[in-house]
């Protein structure tokens, strides 16, 4: 399944609408910060080869256990970049799970992607350190993405 640039643009506009919609709420008593910006450093395992990955993510907490955001990963080797809209669930702090539909762009082709993952957020003074494990389901393949995110919570 290929995705056009028009579809990618629509997904970005939809993300902006969701993030700034009237459904958003102020931080509740179960969490301290409504927004998190993260830098991801790690690797993507593809056919037993490890490729360096770097990325950025944003999460807006809309309620105590749920958030929505955006993520971009750049991976050397198999693919150039991934853009996705993650839906976060915090079943119990510091655990965070995500489902992220998105696009895998490998230079000449756009493929539909679904990322499933989890992280363990170690928070200190408005900052966080989060080991992550993600699985990318794209074009019949399953890629493992391992690494750590450094976050700023505000």
Residue 28, in any domain of the structure: no
Structural domain count, the chain: 1
Domain that holds residue 95: 5-20+35-153
In-domain check, residue 109 = yes
Residue 12 has pLDDT above 70, yes or no: no
Segment 76-99 mean pLDDT: 91
Does residue 98 carry a pLDDT above 80? Answer: yes
Torsion sign (Cα): 36, 110, 99, 143: negative
Does 124 reside within a domain?
A: yes
Structural domain includes residue 104? yes
Residue 72 and residue 86: Cα distance in Å, rounded?
A: 10
Left if phi > 0, otherwise alpha if psi is -120 to 50, otherwise beta: which for 48? left
User: Could you read off the pLDDT of 21-67 as tens digits, one per residue?
Assistant: 434 444 444 556 799 999 999 999 988 889 999 999 999 998 889 99
28 vs 149, higher pLDDT: 149
Average per-residue pLDDT for the chain: 85
48 occurs within a structural domain: yes
Torsion of CA 43, 48, 49, 54, to 10 degrees: -10
Asked if 153 and 128 count as a contact pair (C-beta separation under 8 A), the reply is yes
pLDDT digits (tens, 9 = 90+) for 118-128: 999 999 999 99
| CATH number of the domain bearing residue 41 | 2.40.160.20
């Amino acid at each position: 399944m290929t995705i056009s640039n028009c579809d990618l643009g629509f997904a970005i506009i939809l993300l902006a609408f969701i993030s700034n919609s009237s459904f958003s709420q102020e931080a509740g008593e179960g969490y301290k910060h409504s927004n998190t910006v993260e830098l991801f450093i790690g690797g993507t395992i593809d056919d037993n080869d490890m490729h360096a990955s770097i990325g950025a993510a944003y999460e807006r907490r809309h309620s105590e256990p749920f958030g929505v955001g955006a993520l971009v990963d750049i991976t050397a080797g198999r693919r150039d970049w991934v853009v996705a809209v993650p839906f976060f669930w915090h079943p119990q702090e510091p655990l965070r799970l995500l489902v992220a539909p998105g696009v895998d762009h490998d230079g000449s082709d756009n493929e539909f992607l679904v990322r499933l993952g989890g992280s363990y957020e170690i928070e200190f003074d408005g900052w966080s350190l989060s080991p992550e494990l993600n699985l990318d389901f794209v074009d019949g393949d399953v890629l493992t993405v391992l690494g750590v995110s450094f976050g700023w919570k505000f």
